[in-house]
Amino acid sequence: MWLADALVVVAVLVITVSVYGLFRMPDVYTQLHAASKGVFLGEIGIICAAPLVADEAAITSRGVLIAVFLILTTPVSAHVVARAARMSREPMRTPGAIDESVGTGSADGALDGRLEGLLPGESRDPRGAGRES
Amino acid sequence: MHATVYAFASAWLTVLLGVTVVAVIRARSAPTRILALDMLVLVFIALLVLLSLRQNAPYLMDAALVLALLSFVATLAAARYHAVGRLFS
């Protein structure tokens, strides 16, 4: 059926663009767009081609299971990776990136946009180590 | 589905698999590597679904489902270990 053909071709194209985006993006935080949204869209495209082609109902039901699981867990893994990168002070190399997660550092906002501010959960204790260049 | 579409899509997904392996090796930081590993398993799941459609075999979809579960848990564990330094607090 031509619809299944078109779905598979478009899904493979989307996955190609996402893998290329993983290479081209300058930053973990922008690579997350490619890895979580793009590949997931391609996956759903291929799984949607399953009911049109499969002879057995077992394939379609398992495809639905995979799709539901991916819908539930792809945002969670993306968020966890972003949070881990932020908590390990991964620099934002995207030109023009503004770090809006720097919170309770100073009152006049002098620490906004720079990575030396406090992360959520830290406190301003006088520690010897910690300020990275 | 046409056999040429199957063949082309399977071959191209295998090439993308190799490209993602190169991305895992070339990653400059640990979160990028965790992300590239997750993407590697997702591309592999797409390839498995396509192959199961071609051969009309449901057991390949079982493998894809298990891989999705494992990749999710592994991404969570690796990210938590990278952020906090331990898995179970």
Q: Helices (DSSP H) in chain B: which residue ranges?
A: 3-26, 30-55, 59-84
pLDDT tens, A16-25?
Answer: 999 999 999 9
Task: Give the per-residue pLDDT at A108.
Answer: 46
pLDDT tens, A26-52?
Answer: 999 999 999 999 999 999 999 999 999
- Determine which of A17-31, A61-75, A94-108, B29-43 has the lowest per-residue pLDDT on average: A94-108
More confident residue, A128 or B43: B43
Under the banding of pLDDT at 50, 70 and 90, the label for residue A100 is confident
CB contact under 8 A, B80 and A43: no
pLDDT, mean of residues A45-62: 91
Distance CA A58, CA B57 (A): 9
- For residue A133, is pLDDT > 50? no
Cβ neighbours for A51, distance < 8 A, ≥ 6 positions apart: A60, A63
- For residue A106, is pLDDT > 50? no
Task: Give the per-residue pLDDT at A131.
Answer: 43
Q: Is residue A116 within 8 Å of A130, Cβ to Cβ? A: no
Chain B stretch 30-49, residues whose beta carbon is closer than 8 A to a beta carbon of chain A = 30-32, 34-36, 38-39, 42-43, 45-46, 49
Here the ipTM equals 0.91
- For residue A130, is pLDDT > 50? no
CB contact under 8 A, A69 and B52: no
CB contact under 8 A, A22 and B20: yes
